[in-house]
């Protein structure tokens, strides 16, 4: 121990290596704590909003709750229309002062402020009644969320519920578990560049340390003494870095809380990992670093005279990529067939295996590249670089590993992003862009006619079939053609009653779809006219052809203008409480929010991966110069120009990066398609498009590698022939 501490006190290069190890461990610990805290943040949100999940609460129908989304001025509003079914106390969740009775309203602070600042006909009238309080933080998903709970005498379309107390929510419900999957993927693919950075820093003076320890072994030091020396020398930087990483994780969590997700930021306490997790990461990180340093001493301990021998690589390493991809796709199949918290475990193990396999196979490709250029060199710098790559491929590839993982991550993300974008729920083409449609209407629409001067189209939705229970038939709308055409795309009316359809209907039995007052009618003889809509409605039927449906309403559509849109929206909600509004702008807001979240997460993850890969490559490139200080000193003493050595060093970094990143890009595309297949099951159905942008990470990786290679220039210029004599 005294010898190890003496080396740290007196050897400048060992001090630099220790500082870099501390920085690498600090970054790794902070990053891991950040990523493992994400489920805590999601669970905190889920716990605060568990009261909103009213489905399944049917033990005692104490209340009725209608859950709907609303929007205003580009902001989404969560709306809950409630009504009491039985007398007695109704339990409410933390943050909800009391259950709002008929004529009472609870608003979130941000929504209350917005209501005060906006004319009532545009917003406030959507929440009729007296505001009896504001919702507390414990009932809100994020700061500034817009939420309203409105009390009514009766809610026609409400779900029966026991209370507004809720239970324990599941963070896996947020965006259908998407953030859970993203953080787990990020944890796997970003930890690898951290490990590469730490390894590069730890190997900064590895050659000199191995020679020193080999000399001590030959002088009589026992294997135990050599191991302790290495452990002490490594532990100083690793422990300091781990402590700094834990300390920095706290302010880092507050910065993370400012990153929006699902429409808003986080409360500061959301991104705080549990003490057990912090302790485990803080202890495990230095233990792994020390263990890796000790494992690298096998040659020194067993064969001190062979300490300077270069390690050979075997071609079997390439098979690890195929094996890892096999594990990954087995995990995809497992995740598609199972659920629960272990659903993604095998997928993530396979993903980590692919990343490690790329690192494991990299030296093989590096050796091939080196032998290729040794046999076909045209310049001395190319020969020097080729000899280095072929002679010590493990050390030559070490600096490229982080860049390779960054390219793999980037290709995977850019493969998934367009596919996820095609699955995002944007406006469909059923209704006109200026129309607002209320579905599941079970109310008298007379108050709506009095509340707005805009034209109103009343409709009844249902299906036309042969009447058999196994025949679901065609989804149709019953309504006057001239009225329906004001809100429905592709409908051109002609005089007289008719059925407007893509093709002739196969059946003549109409059944309404509404939740109340089910209607069945026989379709009379009719004329079929063309209907060119491209949405989910198959046909439009004039009510004269269905005797017995007169006056029945289950949908109301209103065409709007930019000037009266908010007022019409408010009138619909205020007079038809609990209905579900189909508003294209609202749906686009949700889609835009989801897509912005995905893009933001992708940019953050790729930036971190690129920075970590670049730093690791720079440290490794500088370390390779320091390790070969004697060799470079001899070359300079023999008359080799610094410029030639600089070109050789840059080729050492660039050539393996170019070769291996091509393979990493291909692996990223394959893994991205696999994850996209899994995401389709969570988000919905969509295309799986590939764009030329999936190749962009290769170019970015080359640029990052080139910038990292330039870091060895100052170190190289500091070497002189005197270094050869000093060594």
Residue 700 has which token pair? 């970015």
Residue 662 has which token pair? 């091509």
Asked if 606 and 410 touch (Cβ cutoff 8 Å), the reply is yes
Buried b (16+ CB within 10 A) or exposed e, 118-140: eeebbbbbbbbeebbebbeeebb
Q: What angle do CA 555, 557, 560 make, to 5 degrees?
A: 160
CA 619, 406, 261, 562 torsion: positive or negative?
Answer: positive
Cβ neighbours for 320, distance < 8 A, ≥ 6 positions apart? 353, 356, 357, 360, 361
Rounded Cα gap, residues 190 and 603, in angstroms: 13
Residue with tokens 């490559």: 617
Rounded Cα gap, residues 647 and 325, in angstroms: 36
Cβ neighbours for 724, distance < 8 A, ≥ 6 positions apart? 630, 633, 634, 636, 637
Residue with tokens 């670093």: 289
Closest CA to 409 of 617, 195, 609, 658: 609
Alpha-carbon dihedral angle through residues 23, 25, 27, 29, given to the nearest 10 degrees: -150
Beta bridge partners of 474: 464
Q: What confidence score (pLDDT) does residue 99 get? A: 92
Closest CA to 221 of 301, 142, 161, 280: 301
Point out the residues of the chain with pLDDT beneath 70.
Answer: 55-60, 166-181, 200-208, 296-311, 339-343, 419-428, 514-517, 679-690, 720-727
Rounded Cα gap, residues 512 and 35, in angstroms: 49
Rounded Cα gap, residues 342 and 326, in angstroms: 19
Rounded Cα gap, residues 615 and 246, in angstroms: 21
Length of the chain in residues, anyone? 727
Asked if 656 and 399 touch (Cβ cutoff 8 Å), the reply is no
pLDDT tens column, 48-94: 888 887 765 555 678 888 888 888 888 889 999 999 988 888 888 88
pLDDT tens column, 361-390: 989 999 998 998 888 888 888 898 888 888
CA 398, 399, 401, 404 torsion: positive or negative?
Answer: negative
Q: What confidence score (pLDDT) does residue 498 get? A: 93
Rounded Cα gap, residues 355 and 188, in angstroms: 8
Cβ neighbours for 231, distance < 8 A, ≥ 6 positions apart? 290, 293, 294
Q: What confidence score (pLDDT) does residue 205 get? A: 60
Cβ neighbours for 336, distance < 8 A, ≥ 6 positions apart? 677, 678, 681
Number of Cβ atoms within 10 Å of the Cβ of 410: 30
Q: What confidence score (pLDDT) does residue 179 get? A: 62
Characterize the bridge pairing of strands 104-107 and 147-152.
Answer: antiparallel
Q: How many C-alpha atoms does 133 have within 13 Å on its Cβ side? A: 12
SS3 for 91-115, per residue?
Answer: CECCCCCCCCCCCEEEECHHHHHHH
Provide φ and ψ at 95, rounded to 5°. Answer: 95, -15
Closest CA to 103 of 154, 147, 153: 153
pLDDT tens column, 295-349: 766 666 666 655 555 667 888 888 898 899 898 888 888 877 776 556 677 888 8
With residues binned 3-state (H G I as helix, E B as strand, rest as coil), the percentages for the chain, rounded to 5, are 55, 10, 30
Residue 504 has which token pair? 């002739």
Residue 35 has which token pair? 């990523």
Q: How many C-alpha atoms does 197 have within 13 Å on its Cβ side? A: 32
**Angle, helix 401-423 to helix 178-202, in steps of 10 degrees:** 170
Buried b (16+ CB within 10 A) or exposed e, 104-114: bbbbbbbbbeb
Q: What angle do CA 195, 232, 624 make, to 5 degrees?
A: 50
Closest CA to 664 of 290, 461, 397, 469: 397
Kindly list the distances between the CA atom of residue 447 and the CA atoms of 8, 480, 550, 571, 632, in Å, as whole numbers in the listed order: 84, 21, 19, 9, 89
Cβ neighbours for 557, distance < 8 A, ≥ 6 positions apart? 431, 435, 436, 437, 438, 456, 457, 459, 484, 486, 487, 488
Rounded Cα gap, residues 104 and 149, in angstroms: 9
Rounded Cα gap, residues 674 and 412, in angstroms: 10
Asked if 304 and 218 touch (Cβ cutoff 8 Å), the reply is yes
Asked if 146 and 76 touch (Cβ cutoff 8 Å), the reply is yes
Q: What is the value of pTM for the model shown?
A: 0.75
Characterize the bridge pairing of strands 474-478 and 539-541.
Answer: parallel
Residue with tokens 């991104």: 271
Number of Cβ atoms within 10 Å of the Cβ of 670: 17
Asked if 617 and 403 touch (Cβ cutoff 8 Å), the reply is yes
Q: What confidence score (pLDDT) does residue 176 get? A: 47
**Angle, helix 584-627 to helix 629-637, in steps of 10 degrees:** 60
Rounded Cα gap, residues 377 and 621, in angstroms: 22
Q: How far apart are the first and last CA of the chain?
A: 24
Asked if 227 and 302 touch (Cβ cutoff 8 Å), the reply is no
């Amino acid at each position: 121990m005294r010898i190890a501490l003496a080396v740290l006190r007196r050897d400048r290069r060992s001090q630099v290596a220790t500082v870099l190890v501390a920085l690498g461990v600090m970054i790794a610990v902070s990053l891991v704590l950040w990523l493992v805290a994400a489920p805590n943040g999601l669970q905190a949100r889920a716990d605060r909003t568990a009261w909103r999940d009213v489905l399944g609460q049917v033990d005692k129908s104490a209340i009725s709750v209608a859950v709907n989304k609303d929007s205003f001025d580009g902001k989404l509003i969560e709306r809950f229309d409630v009504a009491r079914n039985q007398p007695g106390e109704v339990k409410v969740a933390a943050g909800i002062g009391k259950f709002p009775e008929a004529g009472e309203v609870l608003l979130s602070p941000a929504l209350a402020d917005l209501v005060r600042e906006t004319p009532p006909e545009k917003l406030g009238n959507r929440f009729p009644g007296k505001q009896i309080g504001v919702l507390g933080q414990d009932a809100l998903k994020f700061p500034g969320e817009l939420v309203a709970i409105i009390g009514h005498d009766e809610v026609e379309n409400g779900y029966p519920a026991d209370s507004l107390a809720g239970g324990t929510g599941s963070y896996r419900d947020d965006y259908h578990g998407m953030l859970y999957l993203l953080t787990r993927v990020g944890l796997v693919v970003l930890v690898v560049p951290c490990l590469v950075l730490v390894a590069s820093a730890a190997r900064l003076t590895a050659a000199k340390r191995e020679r020193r320890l080999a000399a001590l072994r030959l002088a009589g030091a026992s294997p135990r003494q050599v191991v302790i020396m290495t452990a002490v020398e490594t532990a100083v930087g690793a422990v300091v870095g781990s402590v700094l990483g834990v300390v920095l994780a706290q302010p880092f969590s507050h910065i993370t809380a400012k990153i929006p997700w699902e429409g808003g930021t986080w409360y500061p306490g959301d991104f705080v990992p549990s003490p057990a997790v912090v302790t485990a990461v803080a202890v495990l990180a230095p233990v792994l670093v020390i263990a890796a340093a000790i494992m690298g001493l096998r040659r020194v301990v067993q064969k001190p005279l062979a300490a300077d021998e270069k390690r050979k690589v075997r071609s079997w390493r390439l098979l690890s990529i195929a094996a890892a991809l096999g594990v990954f796709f087995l995990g995809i199949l497992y995740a598609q067939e199972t659920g629960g918290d272990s659903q993604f475990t095998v997928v993530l193990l396979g993903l980590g295996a692919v990343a490690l396999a790329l690192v494991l196979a990299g030296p093989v490709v590096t050796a091939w590249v080196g032998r290729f250029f040794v046999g076909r060199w045209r310049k001395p710098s190319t020969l020097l670089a080729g000899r280095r790559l072929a002679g010590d491929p493990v050390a030559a590839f070490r600096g490229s590993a982080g860049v390779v993982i960054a390219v793999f991550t980037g290709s995977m993300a850019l493969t998934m992003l367009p596919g996820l974008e095609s699955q995002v729920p944007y406006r469909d083409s059923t209704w006109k862009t200026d129309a607002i449609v209320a579905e599941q209407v079970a109310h008298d629409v007379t108050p709506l006619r009095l509340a707005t001067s805009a034209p109103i189209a009343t409709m009844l939705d249902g299906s036309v079939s042969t009447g058999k229970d196994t025949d679901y038939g065609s989804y149709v709308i019953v309504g006057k053609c001239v009225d329906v055409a004001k809100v429905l795309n592709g409908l051109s009316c002609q005089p007289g009653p008719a059925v407007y359809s893509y093709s002739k209907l196969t059946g003549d039995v109409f059944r309404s779809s509404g939740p109340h007052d089910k209607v069945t009618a026989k379709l009379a003889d009719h004329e079929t006219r063309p209907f060119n809509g491209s949405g989910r409605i198959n046909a439009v039927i004039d009510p004269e052809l269905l005797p017995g449906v007169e006056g029945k309403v289950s949908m109301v559509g209103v065409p709007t203008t930019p000037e009266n849109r908010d007022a019409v929206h408010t009138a619909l909600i205020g007079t038809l409480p609990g209905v579900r509004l189909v508003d294209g702008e609202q749906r686009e807001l949700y889609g835009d929010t989801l897509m912005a979240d995905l893009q933001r997460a992708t940019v953050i993850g790729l930036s971190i991966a690129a920075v970590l890969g670049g730093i690791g490559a720079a440290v490794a490139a500088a370390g390779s110069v320091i390790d070969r200080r004697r060799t470079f000193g001899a070359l300079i003493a023999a008359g080799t120009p610094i410029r030639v050595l600089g070109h050789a060093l840059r080729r050492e970094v660039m050539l393996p990066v170019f070769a291996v990143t091509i393979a990493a890009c291909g692996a990223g595309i394959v893994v991205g398609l696999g994850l996209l297949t899994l995401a389709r099951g969570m988000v919905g159905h969509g295309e799986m498009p590939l764009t030329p942008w999936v190749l962009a990470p290769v170019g970015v990786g080359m640029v990052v590698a080139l910038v990292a290679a330039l870091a060895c220039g100052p170190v190289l210029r500091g070497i002189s022939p005197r270094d050869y004599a000093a060594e």
